[in-house]
Amino acid sequence: MKDHIFRTRKHHKVHEKTPLVPKIYLQSEQVDLCQLRSVQTLIKKLFRSLPKLDTVILNAGLGGFTGVDWPLAIWALLTNFRQEVTYPTFKLGGVGGLTAPQISEPASSGAKSSQLGQVFCSNVFGHYLLVHGIATLLSNSSATPGRVIWISSLEAYGSTFSIDGIQGLSSPSAYESSKRLTDILALTSRLPITQQWVDRFLPPPSNHRPPKQYVAHPGICATNILPIYWILVYVMTAAFYLARWIGSPWHTTTSYKGACAPVWLALASQEELDAIEGDGGAGKWGSAVDWQGEERASRTEVQGWGIGGKVGDNVGLPKNSRLREAEDLTEEGKERFALMGWSCWQAMEQLRVEWEGLLREEDD
């Protein structure tokens, strides 16, 4: 990190007397989001070592992918390259992946299982318990509200999620389902209909403003989340650059450029964010690039919410960014999305209370 800071200073010709390094202190902590006790341990450590938290970026997660349907991939990429390299239909996902047991096998507790969906726990529920546990630290920022930045994906398709299977255990699209749930939770977190549940998740502080929740995605980065042979990683990366050169705004390709939107959400002034949302509504922010690779934070369309929850408003939507099957937002669609938000917040709060109770019961 220090080497990167010095390189950045040199590149941008920062005045040598500017004391950047002394202001930065890195505190490394480890947590297994698939183990709830590990999450609880981190919460205790953070309370012992930090007086407050301004922002938490919930970036860790699992893909749960098992491979690629190669015949379908070849056909899809040859016939509809830009769409398929952005919204791929050929990835294979595992079904029914579970975490290790969270507690001893339940006997009288009434719990259905001692395990949780692995992708669900890593991508959503582990983060959910963490944020609830550190809500006080996020509320101790007196100048501006603390920020919770959920990291989603372009692949948060509405068709992959069902409230009846919130953990995605029976679906080959557990990753996409978890990201759809992430979108729903973040985008409905300030709607009046969900407040009875959100206020239990982040109890309103008596003397400060409660944290605000945002959602972002990194665009499309060349990472190892999809298990393919190492030589194909280079082919994938080349395909991403090609997609960018022919007009895709979402192929950030590198994780550094993919960090643009969440970092901007973390660093932008509250006045700027409030002004943008006042005009265009609360929305999902994505890391985008032009054909030369210049990154920016850009509005992203969400099925059932549009780009800001406003019917008929597509201002700020990048060219060539839409899913082929995307439909314009309607009042009926927005109402269904809000109701789904209520159901998701209710289910998540009930699940949190249940599991916190089970862990306490085992401790006793």
Model confidence pLDDT, tens digit, residues 147-202: 999 999 999 999 999 999 999 999 999 999 999 999 999 999 999 999 999 999 99
What are the structure tokens assigned to 362, written together? 């085992």
What is the pLDDT at residue 3? 65
Residue 254 has pLDDT above 80, yes or no: yes
Active-site residue 87, yes or no? Answer: no
Residue 348 has pLDDT above 90, yes or no: yes
Percent residues over pLDDT 90 in the chain: 71
Catalytic residue among 122, 139, 152, 178: 152
pLDDT digits (tens, 9 = 90+) for 264-299: 999 999 999 999 998 888 999 999 999 999 999 999
Q: State the average pLDDT over residues 2-14.
A: 58
Listed in order, strand segments (DSSP E) in the chain are 55-58, 65-68, 91-93, 147-151, 212-217, 284-289, 295-300
Measured CA to CA, the distance from residue 333 to residue 216 in angstroms comes to: 21
CB 282 within 8 A of CB 313: no
Those residues whose C-beta lies under 8 Å from the C-beta of residue 68, and which sit 6 or more positions away, are 90, 91, 92, 226, 228
- Range of weakest confidence among 185-199, 215-229, 333-347: 215-229
Q: Look at residue 222 and give its three-state secondary structure.
A: coil
Residue owning tokens 């409030």: 274
CB 285 within 8 A of CB 297: yes
What are the structure tokens assigned to 101, written together? 């047991």
Residue 18 has pLDDT above 70, yes or no: no
What are the structure tokens assigned to 247, written together? 């007009």
CB 147 within 8 A of CB 134: no
Residue 347 has pLDDT above 80, yes or no: yes
Catalytic residue among 87, 128, 175, 214: 175
Beta partners for 299?
285
What is the pLDDT at residue 22? 57
Those residues whose C-beta lies under 8 Å from the C-beta of residue 123, and which sit 6 or more positions away, are 61, 62, 175, 178, 179, 182
Count CA within 13 A, CB hemisphere, residue 293: 9
Measured CA to CA, the distance from residue 295 to residue 252 in angstroms comes to: 7
Predicted confidence band of residue 24 (pLDDT cuts 50, 70, 90): low
Residue 227 has pLDDT above 80, yes or no: yes
- Kindly calculate the radius of gyration of the chain based on its CA atoms and give it in whole angstroms: 21
Q: State the average pLDDT over residues 19-48.
A: 86
CB 121 within 8 A of CB 58: no
- Residue 231: Cβ-neighbour burial (10 angstroms; 0-12, 13-18, 19+): exposed
Catalytic residue among 179, 212, 257, 284: 179
Average pLDDT, the chain: 89
What are the structure tokens assigned to 125, written together? 């529920």
Measured CA to CA, the distance from residue 91 to residue 153 in angstroms comes to: 15
Those residues whose C-beta lies under 8 Å from the C-beta of residue 140, and which sit 6 or more positions away, are 51, 52, 53, 146, 208
pLDDT higher at 26 or 248: 248
Residue 143 has pLDDT above 80, yes or no: no
- Range of weakest confidence among 9-23, 55-69, 137-151: 9-23
pLDDT digits (tens, 9 = 90+) for 90-123: 999 999 999 999 988 654 445 567 899 999 999 9
Amino acid identity of 41?
T
Active-site residue 25, yes or no? Answer: no
What is the pLDDT at residue 208? 72
What is the pLDDT at residue 13? 54
CB 152 within 8 A of CB 184: no
Active-site residue 152, yes or no? Answer: yes
Measured CA to CA, the distance from residue 276 to residue 285 in angstroms comes to: 12
Predicted confidence band of residue 72 (pLDDT cuts 50, 70, 90): very high
CB 217 within 8 A of CB 286: yes
What is the pLDDT at residue 7? 63
Distances (CA, A) of 335 to 19, 161, 329: 50, 17, 10
- Residue 266: Cβ-neighbour burial (10 angstroms; 0-12, 13-18, 19+): middle
- Range of weakest confidence among 13-17, 49-53, 250-254, 271-275: 13-17
